[in-house]
Structure 1
Amino acid sequence: MRHILAGLALSSTLVAHAWAGQPANIYGVNLGSWLVLEPWMLPQGWLDMGGESCADCSTCIASEWSFAKAYPDTVDATFAGHWDTWFTQNDVNTLKAAGINTVRVPLGYWIVEALVDRSHEYYPRGGLNYLRRGLGWLQDAGIQAILDHHALPGVQTAGQMFTGNCTNDVQFYTPYNYHRALVWTAVMTTLAHLDPTFGSVFAIEAMNEPIMNAAQTPNYGTFQKNFVQTIRAVELTLGIPVPSSSPFASLSVSISNNFTAALNATSKATVFSPEVQSALADAVPILLEIGIQCGLQSEFEASPFWKPRTSLVANFMDVNWQYNNPANPADVAIGPQAYDNHLYYSFGGVADANPTAYLTSICNLTRIQSDAAVGNSPLWFGEWGLSTQFNATDDFLYQWADAQKLAYSKGAGWLYWNFKTEISSLTNGNALARQWSYLEALELGYMTQDPAALHDPNVCKPYINGTSKSTS
């Protein structure tokens, strides 16, 4: 399935085109709280595991880090139980039946366990086996996958459960942690091409939701450049060509049946930055270890690896995610690249808190055009939902779902946050799921059984060119 969006090179068009007979638009969901657990989405389940609930998530056991630190002897078994039950084969069957063609898989850097410094970092072990199993299910179902680096080493944003460590001590934007993220990228790129269970993967996202103020993300632009180089260096080693205009197009790489040896040779190529060379070299022993653990020694060390393959899509949050003169990821593109934007009205700052303002804002959305103007196209909306700042009626949520789908489908498509959330007494029945769970919204009828369909194709007609206090 990797070829689906591989042809999406940078262009000035607003809509993603179909490639190799595949659908033009992404209709997707996030697999949130599976391999990066966010307790707010399953509050009773979290308490049952042994977690805690508090107003400030940095002050109690409210993240994977704090849980692993509190329960070092049982954390792996406890999380294995969660991974085994939160996302299942039955969920895949349900998503396929609902017409979902893409999932975004949030991952922490600790899925590559060798990157964790156990002297002071605390995370559960064993997630890679569950990722491989889940990706295999998705591949069998014909559902494509985006590997989203959701929680980065050192934490990329303060005070968020989604980073795996709810802390205000943000340390990602340092040479050490940029390096670890590049090693992660090299490992994931290799698995995406050589591990048969990763066959549904077509894109890797560099970072979920960096700090919006670019002044607080030093050298992020250099990281973007090195992220792309890391993916393409691995792919050049695999015999996947880069555009002829690339400075790496004429690179001569080792041809043998030992991929890890060939990658080690590539790591010495001075056409790549020293940071990329170092990341490639450090990925080799990690891949050898994963090969032993996952039965991939033949793929990594003893099989012809020069086979017809298609480049992965390098994926970034769009340049307009940040302010204060951010680096533009379009400037570092080598091969296929796509962009991600997240839009939640429930956190404020987008439109006034009433139905008319919401619909006026979304029906006049200009983010796709604004991104295309600076080369950030194709653009998909990797996170959105039905949550509001007011008490939304059922009638409004039908409109709200339609209007957002209509707006986002003018780009490369959308991925709803989340595929499901808990329904329990702690969530007031389905009150949480009603606006945050795609499957519950489908059950309630806000979402259509065909994700491309709308209840009312004219939902935006009364609001086009309307006026509203909005920053859309």
Structure 2
Amino acid sequence: MAADTANGGLGQLENHYKTFITEQDFAEIAAAGLNFVRIPLGYWAIETRDNEPFLAKTSWTYFLKAIQWARKYGLRINLDYHALPGSQNGWNHSGRLGTIGVLNGPMGYANAQRSLDYIRILAEFISQPQYKDVVVMFGVTNEPQGPTFGQENLVRYYLQAYNLVRTAGGTGTGNGPMISFHEGFAGLDKWVGMFVGSDRTGLDIHPYLCFGGQSADPTRTPPFGLTVAGEFSLAINDCGLYVNGVGLGTRYEGTYQGSGPAIGPCDPWTDYATWSDSMKADIQSFALSSMDALQNYFFWTWKIGNSSVTGKVESPQWSYQLGLQQGWMPLDPRSAAGTCDPSQPFVGPLSAWQTGGAGANTLQPDFTNSYTWPPTSLSSAGAVSTLPSYVASGTPITLPAPTFTDKSGKPINAGSGWLNTQDNAGMYEPQPQCNYLDPWVNPTVPPPAPLCTAAARRADVAPPSQITPPPTPRPRP
């Protein structure tokens, strides 16, 4: 698209921003009885560097519009940091389909440094009083591939993100957004006992049925605290245009790489115009059961665009809006209550510290001391002390606020973009005279020379004599 200069290059993406999700959608979401929107945001909303092929800063403009529309229609926002430099999971919705470059490979530490900077910048903005009652939840990283870089390093990263978000909110408890941690595909049981005494943290799990086996996780809230299904759909198989990615085929038809024999054709699952009333009723029953079992959930997604070839939605069980229009999504989601169990499945109440009350933001020293930053070693790369790192010498980026005036034309204070003036640490940036690899480099490539390591600068890690020898790097899956 960038090369298509005759038609506007990357600027063509802005037409999508302008036309796909509009104020009308927010009005319909509210009318559907929903109360939250989860909005994915890539790091390029803040900046791009060097030759990164993303449209910089434009999506931020439209996120600000989303805040205005959410405020107008009484909705709340879960801001989800969805795409990190180098990719946190190797999937296309992280910016590029391919390798994992966060907490993995030679640029894994530098990419994590940069990602944490962006979390800090976003937190400073949404913690401002003008926005904190609309953007009330912050998913700090979408679907990090925990099996690749290990839960220990993921917890270290999450603890650093937690500290940055809470610092942005200022002193005292109850400030800033609720923090949502994706469980990193480790399972909910692996998070029991983590972040005890934190200030308003919750777990995010994505219980899709169509990409693998059935989930064995409990529907009841585990001891961690608030647990939310940050993504689910009504798809019981992976039929649908580009559900797995562009041109990658489907498991159901046996055309997806590594899948088994074909189960059948996808046409009956995608051609919703042929669905009988009985089939629509069955799908709605599944929707009601899912909503009741999950309790706290975000449906992926509100809307699917029409195919430019067929002129209709080709992934119907992923579109909430289409389900409302065609009759397989409940007109009132509250009607789901009791579908699975007429008793009240919520085990509560949550502890005071889990909701910002007494005991919040009192993380235990044995936990914080066990998960200090940075990690000692990364998968596919070895000791962090031998890897490239950035130095905190740059001026932090302050995200711009919208411009408002009252009826008399007097400017309305929309915030400075940076709440905590005491939060004045530098932003991580490349060090002159040092070599760095592309953030998206294959994780098997060796580090560059000369190195610009944290250990060499005594910037982010202990002196070499105090660095624990790293474990043997885990093989990549």
Q: Same fold (TM over 0.5)?
A: yes
Instruction: Work out the CA distance in 1 between the residues paired with 2:192 and 2:161.
Output: 13
Identity among equivalent positions (%) equals 21
Alignment of 1:213-232 (within 5 A): 213=147, 215=149, 219-232=153-166
Deviation at residue 148 of structure 1 after TM alignment: 0.3
Cα RMSD between the aligned structures? 3.2
* Alignment-derived partner of residue 147 in structure 1: 79
Deviation at residue 413 of structure 1 after TM alignment: 1.4
Cα deviation, 1:331-356, whole Å, max 9, x if unaligned, reads 36620011111122222322xxxxxx
Alignment of 1:10-409 (within 5 A): 67-68=1-2, 74-113=8-47, 116-117=48-49, 119-125=50-56, 126-158=58-90, 160-168=91-99, 170-171=101-102, 173=104, 174-194=108-128, 196=130, 199-213=133-147, 215=149, 219-236=153-170, 239=171, 241-242=172-173, 310-318=175-183, 321-322=185-186, 330-331=194-195, 334-350=198-214, 366-369=217-220, 372=222, 375-389=223-237, 391=268, 394=276, 395-409=278-292
Instruction: Work out the CA distance in 1 between the residues paired with 2:3 and 2:130.
Output: 34
What's the secondary structure of 1:343's corresponding residue?
Answer: coil
Instruction: Work out the CA distance in 1 between the residues paired with 2:283 and 2:319.
Output: 14
Q: Is the 2:116–2:161 Cα contact (8 Å) retained in structure 1?
A: yes
Which one has a bigger Cα radius of gyration? 2
Question: Match for 2:320: what amino acid?
Answer: Y
Deviation at residue 425 of structure 1 after TM alignment: 5.5
1:450 aligns with 2:306: no
Deviation at residue 226 of structure 1 after TM alignment: 0.4
**Unpaired segments ≥5 residues, structure 2:** 238-251, 253-267, 270-274, 343-477
CA distance 1:201–1:427, shift in 2 (3 Å): farther
Instruction: Work out the CA distance in 2 between the residues paired with 1:450 and 1:326.
Output: 35
* Alignment-derived partner of residue 435 in structure 1: 317
* Alignment-derived partner of residue 421 in structure 1: 304
Instruction: Work out the CA distance in 1 between the residues paired with 2:146 and 2:284.
Output: 26
Deviation at residue 327 of structure 1 after TM alignment: 6.6
Equivalent residues, number: 303
Cα deviation, 1:13-68, whole Å, max 9, x if unaligned, reads xxxxxxxxxxxxxxxxxxxxxxxxxxxxxxxxxxxxxxxxxxxxxxxxxxxxxx44
Instruction: Work out the CA distance in 1 between the residues paired with 2:286 and 2:188.
Output: 31
Question: Match for 1:165: what amino acid?
Answer: R
Instruction: Work out the CA distance in 1 between the residues paired with 2:289 and 2:179.
Output: 25
Instruction: Work out the CA distance in 1 between the residues paired with 2:176 and 2:63.
Output: 21
Q: Is the 1:214–1:323 Cα contact (8 Å) retained in structure 2?
A: no
Deviation at residue 170 of structure 1 after TM alignment: 3.1
CA distance 1:318–1:220, shift in 2 (3 Å): closer
Instruction: Work out the CA distance in 1 between the residues paired with 2:31 and 2:286.
Output: 23
Instruction: Work out the CA distance in 1 between the residues paired with 2:63 and 2:6.
Output: 22
What's the secondary structure of 1:331's corresponding residue?
Answer: coil
Question: Match for 1:137: what amino acid?
Answer: W
Q: Is the 2:89–2:145 Cα contact (8 Å) retained in structure 1?
A: yes
TM-score (norm 1): 0.57
Q: Is the 1:105–1:146 Cα contact (8 Å) retained in structure 2?
A: yes
Instruction: Work out the CA distance in 1 between the residues paired with 2:198 and 2:325.
Output: 42
Q: Is the 2:288–2:339 Cα contact (8 Å) retained in structure 1?
A: no
CA distance 1:327–1:310, shift in 2 (3 Å): closer
Instruction: Work out the CA distance in 1 between the residues paired with 2:288 and 2:190.
Output: 28
Q: Is the 1:399–1:459 Cα contact (8 Å) retained in structure 2?
A: no
Cα deviation, 1:214-246, whole Å, max 9, x if unaligned, reads 55577221101101111111122xx4x13xxxx
What's the secondary structure of 2:39's corresponding residue?
Answer: strand
Instruction: Work out the CA distance in 2 between the residues paired with 1:328 and 1:182.
Output: 24
CA distance 1:170–1:176, shift in 2 (3 Å): closer
Q: Is the 1:132–1:198 Cα contact (8 Å) retained in structure 2?
A: no
What's the secondary structure of 2:309's corresponding residue?
Answer: helix
Higher relative contact order (CA 8 A, sep 6+): 1
Deviation at residue 399 of structure 1 after TM alignment: 3.3
Cα deviation, 1:350-404, whole Å, max 9, x if unaligned, reads 2xxxxxxxxxx8xxx64334x60xx332111111111122745553453344345
Instruction: Work out the CA distance in 1 between the residues paired with 2:136 and 2:192.
Output: 22
Deviation at residue 431 of structure 1 after TM alignment: 3.8
What's the secondary structure of 1:367's corresponding residue?
Answer: coil
Deviation at residue 420 of structure 1 after TM alignment: 0.5
Instruction: Work out the CA distance in 2 between the residues paired with 1:324 and 1:88.
Output: 35
Deviation at residue 193 of structure 1 after TM alignment: 2.2
Q: Is the 2:204–2:229 Cα contact (8 Å) retained in structure 1?
A: yes
What's the secondary structure of 1:338's corresponding residue?
Answer: strand
Instruction: Work out the CA distance in 2 between the residues paired with 1:335 and 1:326.
Output: 20
* Alignment-derived partner of residue 42 in structure 1: none
Instruction: Work out the CA distance in 2 between the residues paired with 1:230 and 1:178.
Output: 13
Instruction: Work out the CA distance in 2 between the residues paired with 1:323 and 1:146.
Output: 22
CA distance 1:121–1:95, shift in 2 (3 Å): same
CA distance 1:318–1:412, shift in 2 (3 Å): farther
Question: Match for 1:121: what amino acid?
Answer: E
**Unpaired segments ≥5 residues, structure 1:** 1-66, 243-308, 351-360, 462-472
Question: Match for 2:67: what amino acid?
Answer: L
